[in-house]
Amino acid sequence: MYAAKWQLTKLLYQHGWRKQRIIVLFKVINWMMVLPASHQQRYWQAVLQLEKERKMEWISPLEQSFIDKGWERGLKKGLTQGLEKGIEKGLERGLEQGRREGAALLLERLLLQRFGPLPQTTRRRLAKASVEQLGAWSDALAEAQSLRQVFAPQARA
């Protein structure tokens, strides 16, 4: 879409229209063809270069100032939101992992107290289990008479 927007922008000047008409059409094109941030910055640089070459201001200095400030604010807001979302996701993952590890350690400890030393396969199974699965096994532990009964298919969540 960048190439199409740029081509339309260059064609505006080539038609020999009055400056005001070109500016209005330029604004319409800019409104209709929104580019991703990486392309938009390249587009504005190309427009500014074309303005210099043609000695015609499509964007007034005041508009350019607003555009620049908008870019800065948008970038800051985007970075802030991205950072906040990243921190939030990281905390969620960390909390989930902490809950899972805590549940696994607690269940392992209870199994050890009830049934004695655990086979390595059981320890691996506990380490890989989800919080839900660990909860189901913990519930099954209350009535199980053997380690095998804790992990029986009906005890799974």
According to the model, what pLDDT value does residue 60 have? 62
Dump pLDDT digits (tens) for 48-62.
787 777 765 556 666
List the alpha helices (DSSP H) in the chain. Answer: 2-14, 19-32, 37-54, 61-115, 120-128, 131-141, 147-150
- Find the range with the poorest average confidence among 32-41, 65-74, 110-119: 65-74
Burial class from Cβ neighbours inside 10 Å (0-12, 13-18, 19+) for residue 69 reads exposed
Domain chopping of the chain, boundaries: 2-59, 96-155
CA separation (Å) from 147 to 122, 132, 135, 139, 154?
Answer: 9, 19, 15, 13, 14
Dump pLDDT digits (tens) for 89-132.
888 888 888 888 999 999 999 999 999 999 999 999 999 999 99
pTM above 0.85, yes or no: no
In 10 A of CB 73, how many CB atoms? Answer: 10
